[in-house]
Amino acid sequence: MKGISYKYFLTISLFFGILYIFIIPPFQAPDEDAHLFRSYELGNIGSTIDDNPENRLGAYLPTSLFDYSDQFRYLRFDINAKISWEQLSLYNEKNLEKVNKNFIDFSNTAMYFPTAYPLHSVFAFVASRLNLRPATLLYLLRFASLLSWLLIAFYIFRLLPHDNLLFPIIFLLPSLLVLHCSVTADVITNALSFFLVTFILSLRNQQDQVSNFQLTLLGFLILIISINKIVYFPLIILWFLLPFGKLESKKKYFLSFFIIASISIACTSLWSLKVNGKYITYEEYHPEFRDDQQIKPNGHPTKQLNYILSNPYDFFENVLKSYASVIPASLAHLTGKFGWEKNYIPTWTIGILAFLILFLLLSSNFKLTSKEKLIFLISVTSTLFLLAMVMYGLYSSVGNDYIHNLGGKYLFPILPGILILFSGKFLKLEVNANWFIAVIILTHITMLFAILNRYYF
């Protein structure tokens, strides 16, 4: 298969990304308001977790930020709700009033580590100092997401073989680009997870030994991914894709792994100790504000963990059943979803994208041995199991026979591993890469029409 310059992929992503930033109405991505509040907090006053009113979690922020976001709340879950361009323009004229502050709840993002918002917090700091409108802040933070996504993608594409189209096409999928054009902490974790896999494969294939700089970078990636979201810590298992000969000795090989793992576990544990005590269940949360938070009734992580330990076989069966039920929805989510709830591009477009990915899977060869594929399998399954435990604790009632909130965007950090597991050089057809680019552009145009139809027409 003939390759194509990664600059084409970045240019297409930038073009459609900017369109998505301005066409999608404010706060129509999952938890976008909560991510904006956390970004503003980090960029201006630092962490205020210890200053919360009783049974609430968030920060004291300008009331105008909440008022601005609240204008668009009606669009979220009403599939028939619309907004006009005139109405959008009017809402966006609201000014930032920094003097007027009130406590704003964002319980699901208040405990995120600052490394999840590096560029967002910088942009929020600048916007606050310039006293920019909340609408301008929102669009700046959306651009921060897109810029973060493209910068990391740039380095990923440079590490890939010139004829590898699988990863670049995945990066260009409409739903993933839409997600990473919103204000979200997922952009850093998702992009760095992809970079980690690509970087380890690059180190495995290079002729020279792993340098100290490369070793430090590898450790840094694992640390940031783990402290952002502990469920993806099992990606560290991919370390064992590196042959022993890539380091000076077996002693350095295992010692380096031990140091990286220990630092990641220690830092993540310290942060978890700081914030876990602040977690508030639905029943304990302030009744006036809890229904607007992403917490579920009858959920209790500690009691849920005790249930898992007491009923391991039932939980394992629950995990298998729950994942099996979300496979179709996850495929649609990863290719053609946008906004809250069930907003998708047309089914035929999702089908084209699924066929395109299948074709690339059957014609991509990462030249892995059976042992190396086993390493990927262990890493992926460990992550899936840890993700199931966390979701069970947060979003399902104690002892429930189903795990809610599995699949979808939470699978993206392990998507490279899943794709590699199912890839193989089964097809030897020579296809011009321009055809793939044309299909991707067509699906993005379809996504634009779907967004316009959902929110404006």
CA dihedral over 417, 360, 357, 193, signed as positive or negative: positive
Q: What are 57-80's pLDDT values in tens digits?
A: 888 899 999 999 999 999 988 888
d(CA 145, CA 164): 25
- Report residue 87's pLDDT band, with 50, 70 and 90 as the boundaries: very high
Burial 129-151 (b: 16+ CB within 10 A, else e): eeebbbbebbbbbbbbbbebbbe
Half-sphere exposure of 104 (CA within 13 A, CB side): 25
- CB burial of residue 213 (10 Å; 0-12, 13-18, 19+): exposed
Average model confidence (pLDDT) for the chain? 88
| pLDDT for 272 | 84
d(CA 432, CA 1): 7
- CB burial of residue 277 (10 Å; 0-12, 13-18, 19+): exposed
Q: What are phi and psi of 183, to 5 degrees?
A: -80, 110
Average pLDDT over residues 135-163: 90
CA 21 to chain centre: 17
Average pLDDT over residues 272-278: 79
Beta-bridge partner residues of 61:
102
Determine contact, residues 397/299, Cβ cutoff 8 Å.
yes
| pLDDT for 141 | 97
Q: What are 348-400's pLDDT values in tens digits?
A: 999 999 888 888 888 877 788 889 999 999 999 999 999 999 888 888 888 88
* Token output for 267: 């830092």
Q: What are 23-62's pLDDT values in tens digits?
A: 999 999 989 999 999 999 999 865 444 467 888 888 889 9
Q: Would you say residue 350 lies in a domain?
A: yes
Q: What are 299-322's pLDDT values in tens digits?
A: 778 888 888 888 889 889 998 998
Report which of 412, 422, 420 is spatially closest to residue 194, judged by C-alpha positions.
412
* Token output for 135: 């609408």
Q: Would you say residue 220 lies in a domain?
A: yes
Q: What are 199-218's pLDDT values in tens digits?
A: 999 999 888 898 999 999 99
- CB burial of residue 418 (10 Å; 0-12, 13-18, 19+): middle
| pLDDT for 186 | 92
Q: Would you say residue 199 lies in a domain?
A: yes
**Domains: count for the chain:** 1
| pLDDT for 47 | 42
Q: How many CB atoms lie within 10 A of CB 248?
A: 10
Determine contact, residues 64/37, Cβ cutoff 8 Å.
no
| pLDDT for 162 | 65
| pLDDT for 334 | 84
Q: Does pLDDT of 2 surpass 50?
A: no
Determine contact, residues 282/295, Cβ cutoff 8 Å.
yes
* Token output for 109: 């993002």
Q: How many CB atoms lie within 10 A of CB 105?
A: 22
Determine contact, residues 233/259, Cβ cutoff 8 Å.
no
Q: What are 237-261's pLDDT values in tens digits?
A: 999 999 988 888 899 999 999 999 9
- Percentage of the chain with pLDDT > 70? 95
Which residues constitute the domain of residue 163?
Answer: 6-455
Task: Give me the residue label for tokens 């997401």.
Answer: 145
| pLDDT for 48 | 46
Determine contact, residues 267/227, Cβ cutoff 8 Å.
yes
- Percentage of the chain with pLDDT > 90? 47
Q: Would you say residue 1 lies in a domain?
A: no
| pLDDT for 4 | 61
* Token output for 333: 């989510």
Q: Does pLDDT of 427 surpass 80?
A: no
Q: Is the pTM of this model over 0.85?
A: yes
Residues in the chain: 457
d(CA 333, CA 120): 25
Q: How far is it between the farthest Cα atoms of the chain?
A: 66
Where is pLDDT greater, at 130 or 52?
A: 130
Determine contact, residues 334/411, Cβ cutoff 8 Å.
yes
CA 60 to chain centre: 26
